[in-house]
A and B are shown apart, each in its own frame.
Chain A
Amino acid sequence: MMTDIVFVALSIFAIAGAIVMILSKSPIYSALGLLITMLSIGGLFALLSASFLFMVQIIVYAGAIMTLILFILMFLNIKEEDLPKEPKKYSLVALGILLVLPLNILVLKAVSNLPEKDLNIVDGNFGDIKPVGMALYNNWLVSFELISILLLVALVGSIVLAKKRKPKENKGEQ
């Protein structure tokens, strides 16, 4: 019973945050909307007995990525006139809803044909740190190593991209 109410509340927060994100004019408001959505999704992970993932979502997504986005937003010092003018925002949203409808109907119909199961919260042998770690290091070792290389590349890449250029004609250096 309780879980149902929690689920509904978290879902409403998630969807509301998403809607706020795509409809706001100022990017700060959008970022905050996204933050709410991230946190709600973390909660939904917890309802699905994925305790490790709940923590990873909060730490990495809400804590690192959203912080990075907000930091860059402030760093660029965006004024009102830098923002693009979007006259046809709502009509494009309506068009998008129309285009995205078939996918939704297809997936939901397909999923509803699956047999019913109970999705109660189970205890700590499923979704806890240790089982996830064991699965990660036993079955998915190669992917793990590759992901670490990817993170290294991203690290080096972002430094190279944002480096100060040699003194040609520069615009707006710090």
Chain B
Amino acid sequence: MNTPLLVWIILAPLLGAILNAGFYFYHIKKQKISDKIFSIIGTGTPLIAFLITLYLFLQMKEEGIIFTQNLFTWISIGDLTIQMSFLGDNLAIFMSMFVTFVGWLIHIYAIGYMKGDDAFGKFFAYFNLFLASMLILVLADNPVILFIGWEGVGVCSYLLIAFYYGDKENVIAGNKAFIANRVGDFGFLLGVVTLFFAVGADSLSFSTIEANISNASSELLILSGFLLFVGAMGKSAQIPLYVWLPDAMAGPTPISALIHAATMVTAGVYMVARFHFLYSGIENIGLFIAYIGAFSALFAAIIATKQQDIKKILAYSTMSQLGYMFIAVGLGFYSSGLFHVFTHAFFKAMLFMGAGGIIIALHHEQNIFKIAQHRAQLPIIHFTFLVGVIAISGIPPFSGFFSKDAILAAAFQEGEYLLWGIGMFTAFLTAFYMFRLYFIIFVAPTKNVSQHIYTSKTITFPLLVLSIGAITAGFLNYPAIFGGETMVDAWLVQLNSNVIHMSHSTEYILMAASIIVAVAGIFVAYKKYAKFDIYKPESEKGIIANKFFVDEFYDKIFVQASKKLSTFIDKVVDEKIIDGFIMTVCNEFVSFGKKVATIQNANVRFYAGFMLVGMSCIFVYLYILLGL
């Protein structure tokens, strides 16, 4: 059903961004504007977007309709037309609900976090722009509009990672994020083109592609499915394009919370779910996606066990959880994967915001051992952090248990025992390193306690709200065996996901197994770290602590080679060969011209002689011509 409201979900934050940008220019050029104005615009617009989404959601729940809105025809070439239109179906409104809600909360948090910063207005302008791009991505009606949002979030991620651009390291991290994303985007674009070519329809909207998908040959579909996933690899930080995510922690914590935990990195999972009609038909690619997810999860978990920077541990944990989501969507369990996206958004954002609160309170200290040495009394943050850590480890009845367990059961049901095994081991490691983090920061004995601490309501209020979500969100998809209605699965029925249907006893055993694994992880962490001597921190040597040297490997293979190639092309090919060739031709012309110019020697007799030579030739010719 057509509605004019749909585009306002996007336009509200977009206008907020433009207004904030305009005010910020005024602020730096002419006259200072109080931070309050930026805050009000910056947090008001996501709230408006959330309220509209909520309104549409309630209508959809009542009447079971989907919303569309067509603005105008954007591209019309030959047979192909691409409309600038938006689609608010169940999946889109589901994503948009938690994106706007969590986004709104993090905007409030950012008011407290960024207080006193000179570029306060610029931050909120970028932040709103990011939210607008993410909503374009989620509400898009065809892959091209989705790509606009896809690129938009990439740009905003770059702008925000390099926000403190005075420090060159941050700029390098921003570049790395953008370039790694670009590699993925290239794959995505090729995938869309291949899909368009394979399907051969006259419009590119998702519904048209879905209707015509049987026209395409399966090789082309496999190719486009693979290429689209390359885009997801880049955006959602899976192997091999994950290298930007740890370095992206150089940006301010609110953006780590929003972009790199709850929203942008889940865009890849959303995209695979959106293309469910494509991936259902090519199961080999689905299996490939699941394996990439599993290995990324394991890899990230191993590295996280030895990291010492609080935000980097959380970054690797994000990558690991994203791996779980890809296992789910790869095997066809789209709604389970999206449910894990939903719960992960809550507890990961909360963990990041808690970490940010600690960092701010201790004046930007990020090493966990040093944080422990100067431990501050922050009760609310302590409480919410504990909630988040328990949720992510998968302990019932917190939300993480239900979503993670659904994925593991799916892997087991499909007979992919290797995936299930990797998932279980990673769950053990997840519990281990998350509790390691908790114990070191909050529990291990320390000598001094900091006195001057800074915290504010804008920091603690979102944490409390999210903790409620982290605890209770699991009940939205309460499994059938416990007598609940799987509401999320029912809502996302359009995706034709596979469902769990095994005997109750198997399910109970699997659930018990995952709980045992998580508790085992907590126990090992407790034994090792609850009484850890934080004044002798762990060494930073060893292959795991150095992240398996992947960055150095990439640097050698790709970066150095590209540098050598460009230096070669610049110095040898451009200067010597091309310039040399052209300049030689030029110089030859000039010297030839100089030689010819010596004929003009101003000697009149010489000129007369030359004229005579010419005339003789003409006379000889005339003689022959006249045939005398």
Contact = CB atoms under 8 A, between A and B. Distances in A.
Contact of B628 (A96, A101, A109): A109
A102 B613 contact: no
Nearest to A92: B609
Interface string A92-110: 0000100111110110011
Nearest to B614: A99
The listed residue with most B CB atoms (<10 A of its CB), out of A102, A105, A109, A110, is A102
B623 A100 contact: no
Interface in B575-628: 609, 612-613, 615-616, 619-620, 622-623, 626, 628
A101 B623 CA distance: 12
A106 B618 CA distance: 11
B626 to A, nearest CB: 8
A109 B612 CA distance: 20
B44 to A, nearest CB: 90
Contacts of B615: 103
A113 interface: yes
Contact of B623 (A96, A102, A113): A102
Contacts of B628: 106, 109-110, 113
A102 B616 CA distance: 6
A96 B609 CA distance: 8
A96 B623 CA distance: 19
A96 B615 CA distance: 12
Nearest to A109: B628
A167 B14 CA distance: 87
B620 A102 contact: yes
Interface residues of B, number: 11
A109 B619 CA distance: 12
Contacts of A113: 628
A84 to B, nearest CB: 11
Contact of B612 (A100, A106, A110): A100
A99 B611 CA distance: 10
Interface residues of A, number: 11
A113 B11 CA distance: 100
Contacts of A103: 615-616, 619
A145 to B, nearest CB: 32
A99 B623 contact: no
Q: What does DSSP make chain A's interface, helix, strand, loop or mixed?
A: helix
A102 B626 CA distance: 13
Contacts of B609: 99
B604 to A, nearest CB: 14
Contacts of A100: 612, 616
A106 B622 contact: yes
Q: What does DSSP make chain B's interface, helix, strand, loop or mixed?
A: helix
Contacts of B622: 106
A16 to B, nearest CB: 24
A86 to B, nearest CB: 11
Contacts of B616: 99-103
Nearest to B619: A102
Interface in B386-427: none
Nearest to B613: A99
B104 to A, nearest CB: 95
Nearest to B605: A92
A99 B616 CA distance: 6
B102 to A, nearest CB: 97
Contacts of B619: 102-103, 106
A57 to B, nearest CB: 26
A125 to B, nearest CB: 36
A106 B625 CA distance: 11
Interface string A57-90: 0000000000000000000000000000000000
A28 B620 CA distance: 37
Given A110-B628, A113-B628, A105 B623 contact: yes
Contacts of A110: 626, 628
A105 B623 CA distance: 8
A7 to B, nearest CB: 26
A110 B628 CA distance: 7
Nearest to A101: B616
A41 B623 CA distance: 29
Interface in A113-133: 113
A120 B17 CA distance: 114
Contacts of B612: 96, 99-100
Nearest to A103: B619
Interface string B506-518: 0000000000000
A102 B628 CA distance: 12
Contacts of B613: 99
A152 B327 CA distance: 111
The listed residue with most A CB atoms (<10 A of its CB), out of B612, B616, B619, is B619
A30 B620 CA distance: 32
A102 B619 CA distance: 6
B606 to A, nearest CB: 11
B446 to A, nearest CB: 105
Interface string B354-396: 0000000000000000000000000000000000000000000
B150 to A, nearest CB: 82
Contacts of A105: 623
Interface string B201-212: 000000000000
Nearest to A98: B616
B628 to A, nearest CB: 4
Contacts of A102: 616, 619-620, 623
Nearest to A113: B628
A87 to B, nearest CB: 15
Interface string A142-166: 0000000000000000000000000
Contacts of B620: 102
A113 B628 CA distance: 9
Nearest to A102: B619
Interface in A17-68: none
A107 to B, nearest CB: 9
**Which 9 A-B residue pairs are closest in the complex by CB-CB distance?**
A102-B619, A109-B628, A102-B620, A99-B616, A103-B619, A102-B616, A106-B623, A106-B619, A99-B612
26 contacts: A96-B612, A99-B609, A99-B612, A99-B613, A99-B616, A100-B612, A100-B616, A101-B616, A102-B616, A102-B619, A102-B620, A102-B623, A103-B615, A103-B616, A103-B619, A105-B623, A106-B619, A106-B622, A106-B623, A106-B626, A106-B628, A109-B623, A109-B628, A110-B626, A110-B628, A113-B628
Given A103-B616, A106-B626, 5 more contacts: A99-B612, A99-B613, A103-B615, A103-B619, A109-B628
